[in-house]
Amino acid sequence: MTSRRFTTSDGVALNVLEARPASARPGDPVIALVPGWSMPASIWRSQLESLGRRYTVVALDPRGQGESEVPERGYTLERRAADLHEFLQAYPRVVLVGWSLGALEALEYVRRNGESRLAGLVLVDSSVGENPRPGKSDFLERLKRDREAALDGFVRAIFRTPPPEDEVRALVARAQRMPLDASLALLSYPVPREHWRDIARGVAVPLLYVVTPQFSAQAANLKKHRPATQVVVFERAGHALFVDEPARFAAALGDFVDEAWRRR
């Protein structure tokens, strides 16, 4: 596994983790991974290590996250989608995988840039605007009141199987690098839920929606309106399902990539 940095059009240095087999050739499948809110690219380590034996696998540290620069600006839907666009310029064709907030930013990338660079799209455990609407949460208020405690609870809650304590503390510490106002802005994109629903229903490339039970009804509704959607439900995993069940996730993603690449 290696890392590289690139500078965005607004002057921010972003970090990318890369893994690829020694036999990689131009035209082989590329998997591009985007983490969720406040999480680093390294949360995809299992996928980088296992899938990187078969494919070129790259994971982005979005601005303010992981090992990327922490600027004061750019924590908007438009800029984060532009960051994705500039990240993907290094690869002629990818299967784009977005988890949680990263899934919404991947959808916005599609809306703004089209699908010419995509062989497929994977949305991982994110509300995509279908019914039923998720229940209300007081997380924003808790984040404002006691940020460290809120982040500690958030990190622990995304795993069904608790990770080692030092990993939890490291994830919390990394999440605190981002300014509080920026982290709040990322959770408050000013668009209606239907914005995401309409983009997802309109995706033309192969689409895989991998969810835990909290979004299984949304997945069923997306498939109803877009029958070609592939849905996989992880019944016994937490929100970071690819960490809780890495082998199952890698198998599902690998099958999807192989099929998407044959169809491209």
Alpha-carbon distance 137 to 160, whole Å? Answer: 20
Residue with tokens 């893994």: 19
* pLDDT score, position 23: 86
**Count of C-beta atoms within a 10 Å radius of residue 19:** 22
Residue 55 within a domain: yes
- Determine the pLDDT at residue 91: 95
Structure tokens at 49: 């290590």
Dist. CA 233–CA 217, nearest whole Å = 10
Question: Would residue 69 count as lying in a domain?
Answer: yes
Determine, yes or no, domain membership for 151: no
φ, ψ for residue 182 (rounded to 5)? -70, -45
Q: What is the pLDDT, as a whole number, of residue 203?
A: 98
Apex 23 CA angle, 20 and 26, nearest 5: 80
Cα 160 to the chain's mean position, in Å?
18
Identify the CA nearest to 16 among candidates 53, 94, 69, 54: 69
DSSP β-bridge partners for residue 230: 208
Q: Could you tell me if residue 89 is inside a domain?
A: yes
Domain of residue 221, CATH code: 3.40.50.1820
pLDDT-derived band of residue 24, with 50, 70 and 90 as boundaries?
confident
The number of folded domains in the chain is 1
Evaluate whether residue 149 is within a structural domain. no
Q: How far is CA 78 from CA 32, 83, 105, 122, in A?
A: 19, 9, 9, 20
Domain range spanning residue 62?
A: 2-135+191-263
Q: Where are the alpha helices (DSSP H) in 4-138?
A: 45-51, 77-88, 101-113
Residue 110 has pLDDT above 80, yes or no: yes
pTM: predicted TM-score of the whole model, two decimal places: 0.98
How many Cα atoms occupy the beta-carbon half-sphere of 31 within 13 Å? 28
Please tell me whether the peptide bond between 62 and the residue prior to it is cis, using omega within 30 degrees of 0.
no
Q: What is the pLDDT of residue 222?
A: 98
Q: Is 163 a domain residue?
A: no
Quick check: 16 and 60 in contact, CB under 8 A?
yes
- DSSP code, position 69: -
The residues pairing with 142 across neighbouring beta strands, listed in sequence order, are: none
For 183-228, what is each residue's pLDDT tens digit?
999 999 999 999 999 999 999 999 999 999 999 999 999 999 999 9
Distance CA 236, CA 241 (A): 9
Q: Residue 240 domain-assigned?
A: yes
The pair of three-digit structure tokens given for residue 170, joined into one six-digit string = 């490291």
Whole-angstrom CA distances from 42 to 34, 46, 171, 230, 252 are 10, 9, 10, 26, 20
DSSP state of 33: E
In a domain, residue 181? The reply is: no
Mean pLDDT for 45-70 is 97
